[in-house]
Amino acid sequence: MSNSYEGLSTHYDLIMTSGYYDYDAYARTLLDLIGDRRQLLEIGAGTGLVCEKLLDLAAPGLEITGVDHTESMLVQARQRLGERAEFVQADLCHLTVPSLFDVAYSVGGVWYYIHDDEDAEDNDAVLASHLMEEDDNINALSRVHAALKPDGLLILATQGPHRDHERTLPGGLVYAQEIHSAPDNTFTKDYYVRRVAENHQGRQGGTGEEVVAHQRCEYRLYAAEQAERLLKQCGFRSEGITSDGLFHYLTRQ
């Protein structure tokens, strides 16, 4: 399976909840956009962190089905949410659903937008995809389209550009990411979790760090116009960006 999160899943929550994503902000803006809609499909639901925030903050009656292809992420999502939500293991390229949804949304899941500046009105955001092949993107987006009711919404989160980065995690761990861009509008991202040895200072001949988790993901990038074309081809019309810049939203045509 390409772009599985298996290698990172044990440390995923620690990394994400110590400064990577602001789940509270994402959930509040999502709820504003969703309004009275109640049947939600989460694309690339991971360990259920977005889902949990939504359910904690929403009025009763929100029904969320999360889809993800990495079972070790979903195991955590099911532990976190029990009966409060449903999680289904599926690759988006093979998605089928038993009933239609009002909204499909994703935070950093299969697709997300990258804004390269602070301007929330920036319309030149690049679309990043975990799916490397054009046909897979068309297929999976068409399946999301087919999973939505006629007036359904597709909501995709934005995030800042990927850069090499390192920061300390609780428990003597360090998170690092390394980005390698390729000329063909793709890039790879290596995620590392390292344990810092207590006696690493003054040691000779070693880094004093042990890699406890490593995962490599590949991404394909669509420039703004290409993204618009792809989404239109799959039946979506772009409606804009939320005023806080956190989400792009599209209507199903």
Ligand X SMILES: C[S@@+](CC[C@H](N)C(=O)[O-])C[C@H]1O[C@@H](n2cnc3c(N)ncnc32)[C@H](O)[C@@H]1O
Which residues here bind ligand X, judged by CB under 6 A? Answer: 3, 5, 16, 21, 44-46, 49-50, 67-70, 73, 91-92, 107-110, 130-131
Smallest distance, ligand X to C-beta of residue 79, A: 15
- For residue 9, the minimal CB distance to ligand X (Å) is 8
Q: Which residue is closest to ligand X by CB?
A: 46
Residue with smaller CB distance to ligand X, 38 or 80? 80
Pick the closer one to ligand X by CB: 27 or 241: 27
Q: Which two tokens stand for residue 215?
A: 């995962």
Instruction: Between 125 and 140, name the residue whose CB sits nearer to ligand X.
Output: 140
* SS3 state at 19: helix
Per DSSP bridges, beta strands 63-68 and 86-89 are: parallel
- Considering only the C-alpha atoms of the chain, give the largest distance between any 2 of them, rounded to a whole number of Å: 64
Name which of 3 and 236 has its Cβ closer to ligand X: 3
CB of 69 to ligand X, least distance (A): 4
DSSP state of 109: S
Task: Give the start-end residues of each E strand in the chain.
Answer: 39-43, 63-68, 86-89, 101-106, 111-114, 126-129, 148-159, 165-169, 173-182, 186-196, 209-222, 236-241, 247-252
Minimum CB distance to ligand X, residue 116 (Å): 19
